[in-house]
Amino acid sequence: MKTIDDYNFENKKALIRVDFNVPLDAEFNVTDTSRIEAAKPSILKVLEDGGSAILMSHLGRPKGQVNADMSLSHICEKVSEIIGVEVKFVDNCVGDEAKTAVETLQVGEVLLLENLRFHAEEEKGDAAFAEELSKNGDIYINDAFGTAHRAHASTTIVANYFPESKCFGYLLAKEIKAIEKVMQTGEKPVTAILGGAKVSSKITIIENILDKVDNLIIGGGMTYTFVKAQGGKVGDSICEDDKMDLALNILKQAEEKGVKIHLPVDVLAADAFDNNANTQFMDVTEIPDGWQGLDAGPQTLEIFKKVILESKTILWNGPVGVFEMENFAKGTIAVGDAIDEATQNGAFSLVGGGDSVAAVKQFGFEDKVSYVSTGGGAMLESLEGRTLPGIAAILS
């Protein structure tokens, strides 16, 4: 696996695919800078070697049309501030303007190209467009894990034009190693904590990880499909009735493979999907009509904590309750606390997938786990066992 450390960038122009698809407020201020911060080490490595960096990214979904609201010019100042170098900007990513900006770029300078998705050819994976992009650098670095699952021009096709000079940036290399640690090389016992609303959205992950884990903790809305499938009463809790056979099949597969599945035994139920609803702790199999489970209960959290603290490798994907509402966030916080303690005791912990990452950030666990993945969809597809096109393109 060739990484950025395998190259010296002296007098080289590095074309770096970063993921600067960051959230902006109404005044176009960046409200979460973590993706920019994640790209910083790779950019600085190029500059410190005596090279220059040409950054390319998308922002939002302009659908192949120029859209001033989605211009990367809005973030240029913030990128400059975080990297510590004034970042130049050019309002195209191909064509004469981009070519001139690249040609006049000096050693130690950084150039940010305009939004790739202003060109429809980007998402189509157009070869001619990718070839034009390739003319912007001597070496191609992919450091955008968040888009590595897309076979777009800038993430995958462009690598074909750098047969001997392409590599992973620090961020993408770390993402690959973190997933490998959970799926292949992790010290046992390995525990996966899967939450979220639907079994259907996690089924491929569950099927793929059953051969790799010792424990599978299931929480969140998925719980109730499993409980109802086994004859429990789930009241008005979210439940995929058409996935109950699937849930039973997962339990059977787990038993055959020697994987222990841990489902909630008690829940915090409410009489409405509302932070101010009436609440009550109850047996997960005895939720009456008019009530719905919205968080894990205290007995459940004790069981989960024990399993987590006995684990050496931990994957957390999905909250165990409706953490967006303060009164139903305690379960997710308790799981985070247990993972924090296990990590301090030497376990490797990986958090990935949109909602669990949001929870980790909201409750201040970012620096208390081993690694927080930056790529939602890419992370999930990796856990499903797929080879991501953006990764395959560098390895080929």
Q: Which of 188, 156, 153 is nearest to 172 (CA)?
A: 156
Same fold, 4-174 and 186-383: yes
pLDDT at 247: 94
Q: How far apart are CA 147 and CA 130, in angstroms?
A: 15
Q: Which of 110, 81, 119, 107 is nearest to 18 (CA)?
A: 110
Q: How far apart are CA 387 and CA 391, in angstroms?
A: 7
Q: Per-residue confidence of the chain (396 residues) as pLDDT tens digits?
A: 899 999 999 999 999 999 999 999 999 999 989 899 999 999 999 999 999 999 999 999 999 999 999 999 999 999 999 999 999 999 999 999 999 999 999 999 999 999 999 999 999 999 999 999 999 999 999 999 888 988 999 999 999 999 999 999 999 999 999 989 888 888 999 999 999 888 888 888 898 899 999 999 999 999 999 999 999 999 999 999 999 999 999 999 999 999 999 999 999 999 999 999 999 999 999 999 999 999 999 999 999 999 999 999 999 999 999 999 999 999 999 999 999 999 999 999 999 876 888 899 899 999 999 999 877 778 878 888 888 999 999 998
SS3 content of the chain, % helix, strand, coil (to 5): 45, 20, 40
Q: How far apart are CA 370 and CA 340, in angstroms?
A: 9
What's the Cα-to-Cα distance from 275 to each of 271, 287, 292, 313, rounded to whole Å? 10, 18, 13, 34
Q: Which of 358, 337, 325, 368 is nearest to 34 (CA)?
A: 358
The answer for residues whose C-beta is within 8 angstroms of residue 176's C-beta and 6 or more apart is 1, 168, 391
pLDDT at 382: 84
Binding site annotation covers 117?
yes
Q: Which of 383, 247, 257 is nearest to 316 (CA)?
A: 383
Binding site annotation covers 166?
no
Under CATH, which number does the domain 4-174 receive? 3.40.50.1260
| Domain spans in the chain, listed from the N-terminal domain onward | 4-174, 186-383
User: Catalytic site residues?
Assistant: 35, 198, 354, 377
Q: Which of 395, 46, 389, 352 is nearest to 175 (CA)?
A: 352
pLDDT at 199: 84
Binding site annotation covers 356?
yes
Binding site annotation covers 290?
no
Binding site annotation covers 202?
yes
| Residue 112 CB neighbours (<10 A) | 24
What's the Cα-to-Cα distance from 369 to each of 129, 160, 214, 339, rounded to whole Å? 40, 36, 20, 7
The answer for residues whose C-beta is within 8 angstroms of residue 255's C-beta and 6 or more apart is none
Which residues partner with 260 through β-bridges?
215
Class in CATH terms, 186-383: alpha beta
DSSP 8-state symbol, 51: -
Q: How far apart are CA 280 and CA 244, in angstroms?
A: 26
Tokens 């009241």 -> residue:
235
pLDDT at 374: 75
